Amino acid sequence: MKIIKKNICLIAILSGVVGLSACSQDDALTPDSGTDNGNTIRFTTAIAGFTGSDAAADPATRATINDDGKGSFNNGDKTEIFIAHEDRPESAMIYPAIFRNGTWEADNLTWEGFGNSAELNFFAFFPARTYMETIQELTLPTDQSTEEQYAATDLLHASSLHRVESDGAVPLDFRHVMYRLTVSLSLSATPGTLTQEDVNNATIVIKNMRSTGTIGYDGKVTTHRTLSDFTPLKSTDGDGNRFRAILFPQPVVSDTPWIEITVSGQIITYAIPDGLTELRGGEEQVVNLALTNSRTN
């Protein structure tokens, strides 16, 4: 427990990092005609969703997030599947794919086209990203205060490695590339003169986070050292004191100013705590902050 006093104080509980819970794979289907030449490359798919909070209250990101926190794609969604030979990983071929009947379908995609004994690596993004080069620049929106801006920050990636024809359907299990920070504000049990209305009207800025980087078709992210401040999305579903921001996976340094709260006309800052050295892609950190201006805390 860490207490910071600057007229108004906060009592912070840094919840453990929460990983991802993948939904069950959809069964791979035969084409609409009901026939399958046995050589077609077929796929199953799943989405891993952020967990650790009330899934029913989670704002939607790129894909549909159900009440249980699992995700799903919609008929007509599009992606591009990158396929590389295991012994030539730097040379990927790109195949447009569409989501139909619970799976991804790509026209004229067969094992025979690669040589039936080929060992292949498969990669995909959602939303689709077209790569003319193996590495692309990526910039995160720093204003995520609306659901549209927040959703535009999310990026899903799937990889399936060392696949051969005898393995059967290729699993494309999508994960969140980015890290999610959730900040929950509440009124301390000893609030002093601070009121619940003050807490309800509080605002938050996430400070000193990297905003630019690169990403390869294999999903690997490298960040630049450019630091920016981020405006998170505030919940509007009745849990109005919960804020979320999607951030790059990145190294962090303890005691760096991180969460800046403006409440009742004053500003207080919660620093990156000791022991937190890295924000990892696909993980969520929940920080619970209890606000007070009582000097007895």
What pLDDT was estimated at residue 13?
Answer: 56
Within the chain, which residues score under 50 in pLDDT?
Answer: 1-6, 16-35, 51-57, 60-62, 65-69, 296-297
Could you tell me the fold of the domain covering 21-133+154-176? Immunoglobulin-like (2.60.40)
Contact status, residue 282 vs residue 272, Cβ threshold 8 Å? no
> Per-residue pLDDT tens for 235-263?
866 667 999 999 999 999 999 999 999 99
What pLDDT was estimated at residue 25?
Answer: 40
- Give backbone dihedrals phi and psi of 167, rounded to 5 degrees, phi first: -70, -20
The residue count for the chain: 297
What pLDDT was estimated at residue 128?
Answer: 81
CATH class of 2-17+178-292: mainly beta
What pLDDT was estimated at residue 230?
Answer: 99
> Per-residue pLDDT tens for 177-236?
999 999 999 999 999 999 999 999 999 999 999 999 999 988 999 999 999 999 999 986
Question: Fold identical between 2-17+178-292 and 21-133+154-176?
Answer: yes
Where do the structural domains in the chain lie, given as residue ranges? 2-17+178-292, 21-133+154-176
Count Cβ atoms within 10 A of the Cβ of residue 151 and give its class: 0-12 exposed, 13-18 middle, 19 or more buried: middle
* Side-chain-side CA neighbours of residue 274 (13 Å): 2
What pLDDT was estimated at residue 239?
Answer: 66
What pLDDT was estimated at residue 6?
Answer: 38
Closest CA to 246 of 177, 186, 185, 184: 177
